[in-house]
Structure 1
Amino acid sequence: MSEKLSELQIVQNPSLGSYLIWQFGLGFQADDSQRSSFLLAFLVLPLLLHKPTLDLVASTRKSSGLALFAAKLGEQHENLLAVHSRALALRRLSLQSIAIAANRGLVTIDYDGGYFRSNHPDKKAPALPERIRGMPPAAQKMGFWFSRMSVHQIASTLRVQF
């Protein structure tokens, strides 16, 4: 008999995480051939697997940037501070997701430099269930925002420590 997955298991799933980290990297690389710091991959899931934060990412224009998103998130100061604690709580899931993405060829990791680069797939991505369709565009938007700032500026803006 197959066991039914809980909503938590469906969302906090390393395969979904690998897909979102890959999409984040594509957004980061959108304008040029940059590669993202490995550290930034650990912020993707804490921001996108939290529904209120995902909604804020989705409702903030791409052109507005990370600073405006952080200002909206910080309207309730504890929301901005919660990003760091969620990053700590989800670091194992993030690492599993990065490993799956690298294993499946979605990303290439430069271990010496501490960077990763999202690869362009040979196949078209599958159709996504309705409940997660908004996540990939949000991941790409975050990647674009992050590409405009240094790791230090991102950490300072989001009040996180690496």
Structure 2
Amino acid sequence: MSNLVEEIRVWNTPVVGSYVLWRFTHGYTDHHPEGHSPVLLLHFLASAILTNKRLSDPVINLRKDLGSYARSFTDKKDVDLFLSIHHRVNNTKFYTLSSIDLAIQHGLLFLNLEDGCLYPKTLSRKPSRGMAPKQSVKSLGNKAEILGKWFSAYSVSQVSTLLKVVL
């Protein structure tokens, strides 16, 4: 199956996006030095990266941080792909909003209007058999947590500078 067909198949529904953004938020909150949650804007960046296989493939635990992730595109001479993150944020904004809306509706995330942060809810029990995410979606969730961990080490302006994105 081609990359484009696979991308469309997996990301055709905001349900997957809501799960992945919930995992991103958990990764950020769990690893932030002060336990803060990510501001809403960071979810748009995460969604832009995680909805593209070539951008999400380098998101692995072997990398040290977000700077290492950014340098990996220079090393592979794939700078054009890396610079496309800014345009992907714009192209995926409605999908990301739908995913966030769905996550809030189903109790995965909570938006605090005072600070503009999304807070993850902790599930009281594991999904029942047949309701758990497929392995491919779990793998994306793991990548989302890693990305959240990397984002938590930087301020919003530092993240946008490292990713060459204007917020």
Which TM class, normalised by the smaller chain length?
0.7 to 0.9
Q: 1:139 aligns with which of 121, 140, 144?
A: 144
Counterpart position of 1:25 = 25
Partners in 1 of 2:117 and 2:102 — Cα distance?
Answer: 16
Q: 1:114 aligns with which of 116, 135, 150?
A: 116
TM-score, normalization by structure 2: 0.85
**Unmatched segments (≥5 aa) in structure 2:** none
Letter in 1 for 2:96: S
Letter in 2 for 1:114: G
| 4+ residue segments displaced more than 6 Å | none
Identity of aligned residues (%): 26
Structure 1 residue 121: deviation in Å?
Answer: 0.9
Counterpart position of 2:79 = 77
Partners in 2 of 1:160 and 1:30 — Cα distance?
Answer: 25
CA deviations on 1:99-143 (whole Å, 9 max, x unpaired) are 111111111101121111111112214433233331011000000
SS for the counterpart of 2:110 is strand
Counterpart position of 1:57 = 59
Residues 94-103 or 118-127, more deviating: 118-127
TM-score, normalization by structure 1: 0.88
Query: What is the alpha-carbon root mean square deviation over aligned residues?
Result: 1.7
User: How many residue pairs end up in the alignment?
Assistant: 155
Partners in 1 of 2:73 and 2:13 — Cα distance?
Answer: 25
Partners in 1 of 2:105 and 2:45 — Cα distance?
Answer: 20
Structure 1 residue 45: deviation in Å?
Answer: 1.7
Partners in 2 of 1:133 and 1:87 — Cα distance?
Answer: 23
